[in-house]
Amino acid sequence: MQPIEPIPTTLTRAVRLFVERHPSPNGAAVPAHNTYAGYPSSGGLGAWYEFEISVFGIPQRSSGYLATLAELDGCVRQAALPILQSALFFEATSAQVTPRGLLATIVEAVQSTLAPRLESLSWNISPFHTYRWDRAMPQISTLTAVFEFAASHRLNDPTRTVAENQAFFGKCNKLNGHGHNYHLEVSVAVGHASSFGMAQLEQIVDEWVIERFDHMNLNIDCPEFHSMNPSVEHIASTCFSLLSDPFAHAGVELRKVRLWETSKTSATVEHDRHPIVK
């Protein structure tokens, strides 16, 4: 049998770290006992962050590696820790430092070691807020925020008989409907020269989607679904349509909307594809 040649592959690694004013008492290296939770470990007050780094290329045949995990971990920590420590605790102008600006500086430091393999770097500043740099759009940052709203709906197709609707939609066709706690992920592309930030993203989504749908019966209270079944696919596409113009007027581009109906079911609408995936 002919050996299979390696093909281009993306490797992604999560790197978690804790940023303190004084990382160690004497400047000595801190032992790594739990890098899953984060390294350096938390010894006092500070900030915990997670980065996701992706590298792209053809793995070495002998090792099978694009990069060692130690290389990725070390590269991100060496780049990010001093920049974040300075911004959080020592910069006189820290109030003006933005996450997008800091991410760009961290990317430059990481690229000095990993270029041209570096594909993307995401900074999860909380479980619900992400800033992302991608090699395909080097002058753009992608901002992602997660929201929650509660709503009820009933799935019913007026072209089907009562029996056909019950057979097709099952419990989702019950007369009085049922509810979900929806999770909504919204991603926008922002140019490096723009002042647009996470607070403006959240304001627009809250005004145009959350206030419109939260604690509503979608079939009855929301005109968008008077003639359209409020499936997770249709809700996601409606959210995308509602948000596109407000973000464009704010000078940024809506890239993706992903709506989770349950922990197992979601629908996604993307700017450059426009399908709904369930």
Residues annotated as catalytic (active site), given as ranges: 172, 215, 261
Query: Collapsing DSSP states into helix, strand and coil, what is residue 115?
Result: coil
What are the start-end ranges of the H helices in the chain?
Answer: 69-85, 99-114, 162-169, 198-205, 211-213, 218-221, 232-249
The total of other beta-carbon atoms located within 10 Å of residue 250's CB is 17
Which residues are CB-neighbours of 271 under 8 A, at least 6 positions away? 253, 254, 255, 256
* Tokens describing residue 237: 């596409």
* Tokens describing residue 173: 């066709």
Geometric angle at alpha carbon 105, from 27 and 22, rounded to 5°: 20
Residue among 84, 81, 74, 61 nearest 6 (CA): 61
Q: Whole-angstrom Cα distance, residue 177 to residue 32? A: 52
* Tokens describing residue 207: 């005004």
The residue type of 271 is: H
* Tokens describing residue 166: 């019950």
Beta bridge partners of residue 209, listed in sequence order: none
Q: Whole-angstrom Cα distance, residue 229 to residue 218? A: 9
Which residues are CB-neighbours of 230 under 8 A, at least 6 positions away? 153, 154, 155, 218, 219, 222
